[in-house]
Amino acid sequence: MNITVFLGAPGSGKGTQAKKLSSSGKFIHLSTGDILRNAIKEGTPLGKEAKVFMDKGELVPDSTMIGLIEATLKNLSGLEHIILDGFPRTVPQAEALDAKETTKVKKAIFFQIPDSVLVDRLTGRRLCRNCSQPYHIKHMPPKKAGHCDLCSGEIYQRSDDQEDVVVRRLEVFNSQNQGLVDYYSQKNKLQNLIAHGSPEDIQKSLIQALN
């Protein structure tokens, strides 16, 4: 299994860029945040457990997340190039991936972006409830208010994109991220990516980093 992990703050564009890459058909994009939001929508036991943490901007416990990612990766054939977006969030999660030969991480790409940009990006972010296409109320509104340009689905704001929860999510990110950066840097797997600029330029740098 060829696994690349995307590191970076909430709002650094990991999900947007991973979605673009997966549309080429060469990569499989797995977002643990998306998996958890689906579980919440379906009202599963995982969704019920995760919601309590997500609504407060806290991390879901490592044991739950490691079990979830192991179960998800087990369903794949092993030949795919996988992009993990939102996992690992902690060093024990990174160690769990590397503990098995088949899920060892090949590369970690760190999306670097100034903190000042993130709050505006996150609090202004809106998503399509149907296809998850991202929008921004100021910088990239949908053509028809409240409806997705691609599938006409309903546009909504994630409950954890409210300002008080955003502030906590960024605190949590900052408390965990240096440990992950050090972990992958010591293994010579870390690649930094300037993630502030046009999405097209970032995609080009990302493709170079992945090759």
Site membership for ligand AMP, residue 10 (CB under 6 A) = yes
Active-site pick, 104, 107, 129, 158: 158
CA distance 28 to 21: 8
Site membership for ligand AMP, residue 54 (CB under 6 A) = yes
Complex with ligand AMP: residue 115 or 201, whichever CB lies closer: 115
Cα–Cα distances in Å, from 20 out to 131, 169, 171?
13, 24, 28
Site membership for ligand AMP, residue 89 (CB under 6 A) = yes
Site membership for ligand AMP, residue 6 (CB under 6 A) = no
Provide the strand spans (E) within the chain.
2-8, 28-31, 81-85, 105-112, 125-128, 134-136, 155-156, 190-194
Site membership for ligand AMP, residue 32 (CB under 6 A) = yes
Min dist. Cβ of residue 211 to ligand AMP (A)? 25
Helix (H, G, I), strand (E, B) or coil at 107: strand
CA distance 74 to 179: 27
CA distance 23 to 119: 28
| Number of neighbours of residue 137 by Cβ within 10 angstroms | 14
Tell me which stretch binds ligand AMP (CB under 6 A): 28-36, 97-105, 131-139, 147-155. 28-36
Complex with ligand AMP: residue 97 or 148, whichever CB lies closer: 97
Min dist. Cβ of residue 96 to ligand AMP (A)? 10
Active-site pick, 20, 37, 169, 189: 169
32-42 and 62-74 helices, crossing angle to 10°:
100
Shortest Cβ contact with ligand AMP: which residue? 33
Min dist. Cβ of residue 143 to ligand AMP (A)? 25
Tokens 């990516």 locate to 193
Site membership for ligand AMP, residue 72 (CB under 6 A) = no
Site membership for ligand AMP, residue 142 (CB under 6 A) = no
Query: Is 158 tagged catalytic?
Result: yes
Helix (H, G, I), strand (E, B) or coil at 134: strand
Which spans of this chain sit near ligand AMP (rule: CB under 6 A)?
A: 10, 32-33, 36, 53-54, 57-60, 65, 86-87, 89, 93, 160, 169
Q: Which residues are catalytic?
A: 14, 89, 125, 158, 169
